[in-house]
């Protein structure tokens, strides 16, 4: 079951990020990393913002991290969300990927219990068309029984 309601627009992989989405299809979270200076960057881009190298690799990261920031959307921003419960959007500071923060959803935590610094772990979410989105669940032991 998808976290967001059916009918939501889905990501459309382009020339810069298709390798990210192809890795997701294999249930691998890979972040683009400069082959020259090792700087991680996301969203993907053709040139390293630090050293301007065009060479990059796609580094597998463990899929754990912490909530860097978040918001809760109470109002529908798309017709498919009308009448649905509120949902969150989180920025996850990924472990093992420098200062990369991935925009995602934390799917198992009530809006009132969201907190900056909360430990999270990856959970693949299959959406319409079979695409896999990297979403997150709480990795905090005291919230596990909710
Ligand atoms: Zn670089």
pLDDT digits (tens, 9 = 90+) for 127-137: 888 899 999 99
**Cα 62 to averaged position of ligand 1 atoms, centre (Å):** 22
**Of the candidates 2, 143, 5, 10, which has an alpha carbon nearest to the alpha carbon of residue 85?**
5
* Tens-place pLDDT, residues 10-47: 889 999 999 999 999 999 999 999 999 999 999 999 99
Two tokens, residue 119? 């430990």
pTM: 0.90
Distance CA(78)–CA(75), nearest Å, equals 9
Whether residue 83 has pLDDT greater than 90: no
Query: Which range, of 19-23, 72-76, 89-93, averages the lowest pLDDT?
Result: 72-76
**Cα 91 to averaged position of ligand 1 atoms, centre (Å):** 23
Residues with CB under 5 A from ligand 1 (ion): 34, 36-37, 39, 48, 50-51, 53
Distance CA(93)–CA(17), nearest Å, equals 19
CB 66 within 8 A of CB 120: yes
**Cα 49 to averaged position of ligand 1 atoms, centre (Å):** 7
**Cα 16 to averaged position of ligand 1 atoms, centre (Å):** 16
**Cα 52 to averaged position of ligand 1 atoms, centre (Å):** 6
- Sheet containing strand 87-94, edge to edge, reads 101-104, 87-94, 64-73, 119-126, 132-138
**Cα 41 to averaged position of ligand 1 atoms, centre (Å):** 9
Distance CA(87)–CA(104), nearest Å, equals 11
**Cα 34 to averaged position of ligand 1 atoms, centre (Å):** 5
């Amino acid at each position: 079951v998808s976290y967001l309601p059916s009918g939501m627009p889905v990501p459309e992989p382009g020339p810069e990020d298709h390798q990210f989405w192809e890795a997701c299809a294999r249930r691998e979270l890979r972040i683009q990393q400069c082959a020259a200076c090792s700087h991680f960057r996301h969203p993907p881009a053709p040139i390293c913002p630090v050293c301007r190298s065009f060479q990059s690799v796609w580094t597998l990261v463990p899929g754990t991290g912490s909530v860097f920031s978040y918001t809760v959307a109470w109002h529908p921003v798309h017709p498919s969300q009308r009448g649905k419960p509120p949902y969150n959007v989180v920025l996850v500071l990924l472990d093992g990927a420098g200062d990369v923060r991935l925009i995602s959803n934390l799917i198992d935590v009530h809006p009132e219990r969201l907190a900056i610094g909360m430990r999270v772990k990856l959970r693949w979410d299959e959406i319409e068309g079979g695409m896999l989105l990297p979403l997150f669940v709480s990795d905090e032991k005291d919230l596990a029984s909710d």
